[in-house]
Amino acid sequence: MSLEEKFSWEFLKNVADALDSYRIRALIDAKKDILEAGIYDESQYDTILFTMLDEEKLKYSLYNFLKNNSKSNLKTLIEYSEDTSIELNKTLSLLEILKNEKLVDVEELHDKIEGDENNPEKLIFKDFAIEVND
């Protein structure tokens, strides 16, 4: 993490959103039970917590990036991946999480290729239409 990133408003917002995530809150609330049950020791718990926090921070980083773009599509996702040095497949998995949490609506757009008697009609992926839910 660079010194510049530590102080940017966007970084702090992503951390605040991640800390407010139900996944993080649930893990923090269950810490005593987890440690008492001997499922993980304190060091393992901390590793899991900070790994989850990093993942949630990435998720909210994508969410806020999409929120700041008036029209979001595959090109926007590629731009985000390049800006953050995250592989596109990771960005797509973060998008799927945002979709499942109802933070964004994602519509897949397809081109239709007409078929004939020997070949069925096909749908070819064209783009995404992404809308952020506030």
Residues in the chain: 134
Domain that holds residue 117: 3-132
pTM above 0.85, yes or no: no
CA–CA gap between residue 77 and residue 84 (Å, rounded):
11
17-54 per-position pLDDT tens digit: 888 888 999 999 999 999 999 989 999 999 999 999 99
| Cβ-contact 59, 119 below 8 angstroms | no
pLDDT score recorded for residue 10: 83
Q: What percent of the chain has pLDDT over 90?
A: 71
pLDDT for residue 101 is more than 90: yes
| Cβ-contact 9, 34 below 8 angstroms | no
Number of domains in the chain: 1
| Cβ-contact 65, 103 below 8 angstroms | no
